Structure 1
């Protein structure tokens, strides 16, 4: 059974001029695309199947990522349903020279596992054995937006 730690991925993308908006910072659409791609990888690590995006929950842009900085995407699965995988995603701006980092974007994505025909298929339970697994899961659940409001 996969663990939360098994699904943890950190990926980097250097923000180039072709990734920017008129303000010389990463275009929000590019950041969402990078988050979606890495989030799907975390979901697939858990599900062992192809996963497609079903929902993006409260995508919050807190600050820009300047051209020349690195966009770091942190992603991990923290909960699973019958066919779905919930993934916490955070983007950071990171200075390539110093490694200084700050959160720029946060969200929670839901992915659905699909079979060869594109039909939803069951996913395994997500194990939270160990301190790191529990800490990641608890951090995601504590920060997860309330869907009832």
Structure 2
């Protein structure tokens, strides 16, 4: 068994000009790639296996991330099936000088754990051992179901 809090991964990507579109903000495809990578890290921490992306359930881009700011990405596992792992991902725009953050993007990814033969393999049971983890799980389930 793996606890939800053990799956929490936070990462930053500095938005450089080569990540930007013609409006000088992060291209949505780059943001999605960064989120996918951080989500996979979370899924692998949970499962102890290589995980591949199976589905993206909504990708809401609420505001841009300008060149020079960072994309601050948070991911955690909130549910699991036999070989599937559900991960909530939230990206915030962060100004490193002021430490100001605003949510820019939210999504729910599903990964599948695979073995050395690239065949789906079982994942452990997810546990929720503290109030913070319970709240994170509740928020993810509500958001996945359209509650956000």
Query: How much is the aligned-residue C-alpha RMSD, in angstroms?
Result: 0.7
CA distance in 2, matches of 1:9, 1:46: 11
1:1-149 to structure 2, matched below 5 A, reads: 1-145=1-145
Q: How many equivalent residue pairs?
A: 146
Determine which structure has the larger strand proportion and give its number: 2
Gaps of at least 5 residues in structure 1 are none
The SS at the match of 1:38 is helix
The SS at the match of 2:37 is helix
Gaps of at least 5 residues in structure 2 are none
The SS at the match of 1:58 is strand
1:58, 1:145 within 8 Å by CA — same for their partners in 2? Answer: no
**Relative to structure 2, which stretch is displaced further, 76-85 or 127-136?**
127-136
* CA displacement at 1:145 relative to structure 2: 3.2
1:4, 1:128 within 8 Å by CA — same for their partners in 2? Answer: yes
The SS at the match of 1:67 is coil
CA distance in 2, matches of 1:99, 1:4: 26
Runs of 4+ more than 4 Å apart? none
CA distance in 2, matches of 1:145, 1:44: 24
